Amino acid sequence: MSEYRGIEVFGRQGRRRAAPPPRPRTRLGLLSMGAALLTVLSTISGIALAMDGKYEAAILLAYLATGVSVVSVLCGAAAVLTGRGRAWGALAIVLGVLASPPLLTKLLGWASGLG
């Protein structure tokens, strides 16, 4: 029996190798997590400087932490929605919101009225 069947139009097709499985794309989630960690560190540093009496530097760090927390939450939301590092993005959203200086100011103001 012959291997040839019918008219060969495009020539013999070689066996294709299976493509390797796609690597998970987590860069956006990791970027948002880095921004969240920067938010936490700048908030802690700002609080430490304010307690030491260096208010100008503490205010600048509070502005930095606020801006970076917005970036962290937005990039984290994009990572969760697009599936590019969902776990990292979700954790970045939580850290970015909890370490945000405006939210901490509101929480501390509310807590000071309790006592």
From the list 112, 101, 98, 102, the residue with the least C-alpha distance to 45 is 101
Q: With respect to residue 12, please indicate whether it lies within any of the assigned structural domains.
A: no
Q: With respect to residue 8, please indicate whether it lies within any of the assigned structural domains.
A: no
Residue pair 97/108 in contact by the 8 Å Cβ criterion? no
Domain with 51, as residue range(s), is 27-107
Q: With respect to residue 62, please indicate whether it lies within any of the assigned structural domains.
A: yes
Name every residue whose Cβ is closer than 8 Å to that of residue 73 and which is 6 or more positions away in sequence. 32, 92, 93, 96, 97
Is the Cα torsion angle 87, 90, 96, 99 positive or negative in sign? negative
**pLDDT tens over the chain, length 115 residues:** 566 666 666 666 666 777 888 777 899 999 999 999 999 999 999 999 999 999 999 999 999 999 999 999 999 999 999 999 999 999 999 999 999 999 988 988 888 887 6
Q: With respect to residue 56, please indicate whether it lies within any of the assigned structural domains.
A: yes
DSSP string, 56-87: HHHHHHHHHHHHHHHHHHHHHHHHHHHTSSHH
The most distant pair of C-alpha atoms in the chain lies apart, rounded to whole Å, by: 94
Q: With respect to residue 113, please indicate whether it lies within any of the assigned structural domains.
A: no
Q: With respect to residue 2, please indicate whether it lies within any of the assigned structural domains.
A: no
Q: With respect to residue 75, please indicate whether it lies within any of the assigned structural domains.
A: yes
Q: What is the number of domains present in the chain?
A: 1
Q: With respect to residue 9, please indicate whether it lies within any of the assigned structural domains.
A: no
| DSSP code of residue 6 | S
CA distance 12 to 36: 55
